[in-house]
Structure 1
């Protein structure tokens, strides 16, 4: 049994209500709660920084469920990281930059939703110039590495505005979780 923190980093805009990200989070909670202890944070509903920090200390694994807006996480999730990732609790100074993470022995996963089609990745002729998902979100991985977390393979839903396939997305997510969480 693992302690798993799932963070819904969706930020509402007129054109984006967040139903898909909440559906994916609900799918995770339902599936993972069968064999694990699960806590959640829905950033759009507000949060207490000290409580969030304690959730990270408690967690064996952190899962970020988030849309990708303009090639990064929403501003609300970035602000959360800025406020919650505290010096002395999540990281400290070290002789080598980036080697002072204090959350070692813990894992994390990104579950992301993109409006980009899947074919835009892994093809040098497409927009991401051959980059795969992990390379496209490398900057997000670096922030987690900085605090000591270890990655598991990320999950992505593509083309979510023009071609939403909710049943396919949730089935694929469960298969992914079986592979990377319930090992």
Structure 2
């Protein structure tokens, strides 16, 4: 039986309480349970025990991170979660350090991961789809969604995880299309996980 770890990395604010990210986590949970997966979840802005979180990463075949992009990065409470849990798993549990050796101190940086699973990023953003992959748009200057998410990709790659295709819900505050996002998310999960 395949095992999936779902992480809700949202940060509640008065103007954005995290309902969409919670709904996407619930849809993912239902999707995987309906297909016979074992599922564990974490809400990063709620209390957690670091050793238990490390065990969830070690247990899972798949890790799915659901989060909004906040100021082109992870929400600060999710960043705190990453710092605490990944530092606890850094030596021995999830990796052998940074991958370099005394024999080759300049090679293989970031390749010490022990994890063999895969991960998927699922992200909500206020930017419209048209802002990405378009050199005529001045802000991102042609950058893709995954370019913007590079630090999160590198965090998971550090531990040996392999990336699955990213999902993004666009323009969620100014021009939301939530029902369409839910349909696209379901189709994305079916495409990636069967």
Which residue of the partner structure matches residue 68 of structure 1?
69
- Counterparts in 2 of 1:32-111, with a 5 A limit? 32-35=32-35, 36-85=37-86, 86-87=89-90, 88-93=92-97, 94-95=99-100, 96-103=108-115, 105-111=116-122
- In structure 2, distance between residues paired with 1:83 and 1:110: 20
Show CA shifts across 1:53-92 (max 9, x none).
1111110000000000000110111111111112221222
- In structure 2, distance between residues paired with 1:74 and 1:181: 27
Q: Which runs of 4+ in 1 moved over 3 A?
A: none
Q: Secondary structure at the match of 1:124?
A: coil
Which residue of the partner structure matches residue 160 of structure 1?
172
2:122 pairs with 1:131? no
Structure 1 residue 14: deviation in Å?
2.1
Structure 1, unaligned stretches of length 5 or more?
none
How many corresponding residue pairs?
181
Which residue of the partner structure matches residue 23 of structure 2?
23
Show CA shifts across 1:149-179 (max 9, x none).
1000000001000122221111100100111
Contact 2:118 2:163 in 1 (8 A): yes
2:126 pairs with 1:115? yes
> What is the CA RMSD across the aligned residues, in angstroms?
1.0
Larger radius of gyration: 2
Q: With the length of structure 2 as denominator, give the TM-score of the two structures.
A: 0.90
Show CA shifts across 1:14-50 (max 9, x none).
2210010011111111111111111111122221111
